[in-house]
Amino acid sequence: MALNLVVKVHPVVLFQIVDAFERRNADTHRVIGTLLGSQDKGVIEVTNCFCVPHKEHNDQVEAELSYASDVYDLNRRVNSSENIVGWWATGNEVTNHSSVIHEYYSRECNSPVHVTLDTSLQGARMGLKAYVSVNFGVPNGKQGCMFTPINVEVSCYDPEVFGLQLCQKTISSSRPRTVNPMLDFSQVEEAGGKMGVLLDQVLAYVEDVLANRVTPDNAVGRSLLDLVNSVPHMNNEQFSEMFNSNIKDLLMVISLSQLLKTQLQLNEKLTLLTSV
């Protein structure tokens, strides 16, 4: 087992784990489940998961494996590209029962990963950790396994980033606990404002470096160079033409979506009238 694996967990997986923990039975202290995703070139991407009912006793673990198999088969009908890549558990540590559960997932996939999410919020953080099991022992003697930490990070698709930004707006106590998605033009306005703030910060940093007020960072300089090279070279007229063209496309999509919504509402009302 190579220990240079990287586990990329998507936010929807974290939300599902927290939701399963909140919905657990009153006598359940830990929740476990199956991780679904894909593996490619040392990167395990976890895009989905589900909870597996289980009970832990002092000397044994009882898990509803038939339920886990049925849910996985149903998920394969919806998304055939998601395979079992490991399992998850709430808590901040690996328990004595983890090796028994891990043995089951070792039969379901090659080299499963174990992800823990600390729902007890120790240190005021929801700690996220990932492990792989490494066998050890003497030849022809007693064998055992050890859970070794590996790198784990949170990865997001663009729609997930938008959802996280909405969730972030509910953190402040001065804001309402529920927020509604903004209109398309409001999103463009907000994105433009954020971009302006970031550009001001970049310009201030560059001016401080040129004035010897800040020690230059080569990594930041290379990132800024890549940023400048990634921007197409165009004058004001070309930029205005490109921006206006994108706005027209956005307006067309909005108009089509509103027409489709109106058509669906009319069909629904006509269906109700004919049924009466």
Pairing of strands 83-90, 128-137: unpaired
Pairing of strands 83-90, 32-40: antiparallel
**What pLDDT score does 96 carry?**
81
Q: Which two tokens stand for residue 134?
A: 């490494």
**What pLDDT score does 243 carry?**
78
pLDDT (tens, 9 = 90+) of the chain, 276 residues, equals 456 789 999 999 999 999 999 988 887 888 999 999 998 888 999 999 999 998 888 778 888 889 999 999 999 998 889 999 999 999 888 888 888 888 889 888 888 999 999 988 777 778 899 999 887 766 666 666 788 899 999 988 877 777 777 777 777 656 556 767 666 667 777 778 888 898 899 999 999 999 999 898 888 889 888 888 887 777 888 878 887 888 888 788 888 888 888 888 888 888 877 776
Question: Do residues 194 and 200 make contact, with C-beta atoms less than 8 angstroms apart?
Answer: no
User: pTM of the predicted model, to two decimals?
Assistant: 0.66
**What pLDDT score does 142 carry?**
66
Q: Could you identify the residue written with the tokens 């090796």?
A: 99
- The CATH number of 6-155 is 3.40.140.10
- The residue among 33, 47, 103, 44 whose CA lies nearest residue 80 is 47
Q: What is the Cα–Cα distance from 10 to 21, expressed in whole angstroms?
A: 17
Q: Where are the domains of the chain?
A: 6-155, 189-231, 234-276
**What pLDDT score does 174 carry?**
61
